[in-house]
Amino acid sequence: MKRINLISDTITKPSKDMLSYMMQAEVGDDVFRLDPTVNALEEKVASMFGKEAALFCPSGTMTNQIAIKTHTQPLDELICEKTSHVYQYETGGYSFNSGVAINLIDGHHGKITAEQVKQAIKPNYDWLPNSRLVVIENSCNKGGGSYYTLDEIRPITSVCSASKLSFHLDGARLFNVLVETGETTQAVGDLFDSISICISKGLSAPVGSLLTGDAAFIARARKFRKVMGGGMRQAGYLAAACIYALDNNIDQLKLDNANAKAIGQELSNLSYVTDVKPVKTNIVIFSLDVSIDVGSYIESLEKLNIVASQFGAHEVRFVTHNGFSESQIDDLFTRLGQIKLN
């Protein structure tokens, strides 16, 4: 049985063409800003989003953490949805790195509204932290790959501007959204002070995330990258992979999204599946009947050479990527149908 690994789109590896593109990169010492390929990638991403500058980092955790650090001071507060990556999966870095408080909004499939943000903003009293920054995620990982359209984001941008809050986008999987909506990176750029994107997920570069914003913001962010140990030397080999990915791999995400939707449709026919979150991009989150232990279910999947992640007390997550093709869907369901429960 061929292995079907749907644990994450981060398992994607560079293609031969990407590797040869990396091999021919011109490199230099990026800490001295002398790596022409890193400079080219940063200029490319800034101009895609209509921003003045960008910063190449080893991970999306780092770009988010640097963004929080650059936008805030200790005693400030960050507002975000309760399932967001910056809260759940960055080791509490908002507190460790930035000394900020966090104000969690209970959203819908990971999404929050302008009205909720407005209600969350604190008045200016000595005994309250200063509301300073709003972070949203697009697509929303724990929301089951749900997404905001620009029309849904615009009112949040207005609330942030009116209250002088900074607005950051965790766009780790932003391109999975844009291939669905047809919206442009330029239009996204207009709505945020800063944006983080990951190239190491479905776009399948081995390493790499970027943070983009205005020149003064990125100049400060660059210092924080250095103090966090993220100043890399001949990083141009990695930057080349990201340039290659942005030029060649965005279309693949349409297929990944389509495969996830097809999987989502069929899952609801399995007797032991009680709920499937609406599938909007390349993430499928489904719930098992309460009588089933998720840990044992994941083990049963592994026996059938299927890899998935547990995503809550009764939930399982599949993420599609270029290592899974439409032709494998039937095989996947044949195996899922064979699972013996209790």
Ligand X SMILES: *Cc1c(COP(=O)(O)O)cnc(C)c1O
Contact positions vs ligand X (CB under 6 A)? 59-61, 64, 85, 137, 141, 170, 172, 198, 200, 209
Closer CB to ligand X, residue 121 or residue 210? Answer: 210
CB of 230 vs ligand X, minimal distance in Å = 11
- Beta partners for 111? 108
CA separation (Å) from 105 to 28, 83, 153, 219, 262? 44, 9, 16, 31, 31
Closer CB to ligand X, residue 121 or residue 238? Answer: 238
Closer CB to ligand X, residue 88 or residue 181? Answer: 88
Closer CB to ligand X, residue 102 or residue 336? Answer: 102
- Beta partners for 170? 137, 196
Amino acid identity at 115: E
Closer CB to ligand X, residue 93 or residue 236? Answer: 93
Residues with Cβ < 8 Å from 302, sequence gap 6 or more? none
Q: How many CA atoms lie within 13 A of 70 on its CB side?
A: 31
CB of 60 vs ligand X, minimal distance in Å = 2
What is the sign, positive or negative, of the torsion defined by CA atoms of 202, 141, 153, 221?
A: negative
CB of 111 vs ligand X, minimal distance in Å = 13
CB of 6 vs ligand X, minimal distance in Å = 15
Helix (H) or strand (E) holding 255: helix 252-267
Q: Which residue reads 């929050």 in tokens?
A: 112
CB of 23 vs ligand X, minimal distance in Å = 24
Nearest residue to the partner ligand X, using Cβ? 60
Closer CB to ligand X, residue 59 or residue 248? Answer: 59
Residues with Cβ < 8 Å from 202, sequence gap 6 or more? 9, 12, 173, 175, 176, 249, 252, 253, 256, 282, 321, 322
Closer CB to ligand X, residue 5 or residue 300? Answer: 5
CB of 293 vs ligand X, minimal distance in Å = 26
Which of 49-81 are b and which e, b meaning 16 or more Cβ less than 10 Å from the residue's Cβ? Answer: bebebbbbbbbbbbbbbbbbbbbbeeebbbbbb
CB of 251 vs ligand X, minimal distance in Å = 21
Closer CB to ligand X, residue 137 or residue 256? Answer: 137
Instruction: Phi first, then psi: give them for residue 281, nearest 5 degrees.
Output: -135, -130
Residues with Cβ < 8 Å from 201, sequence gap 6 or more? 8, 9, 10, 12, 172, 173, 321
**Which residue in 62, 52, 26, 75 sits closest to 207, CA to CA?**
62
CB of 86 vs ligand X, minimal distance in Å = 7
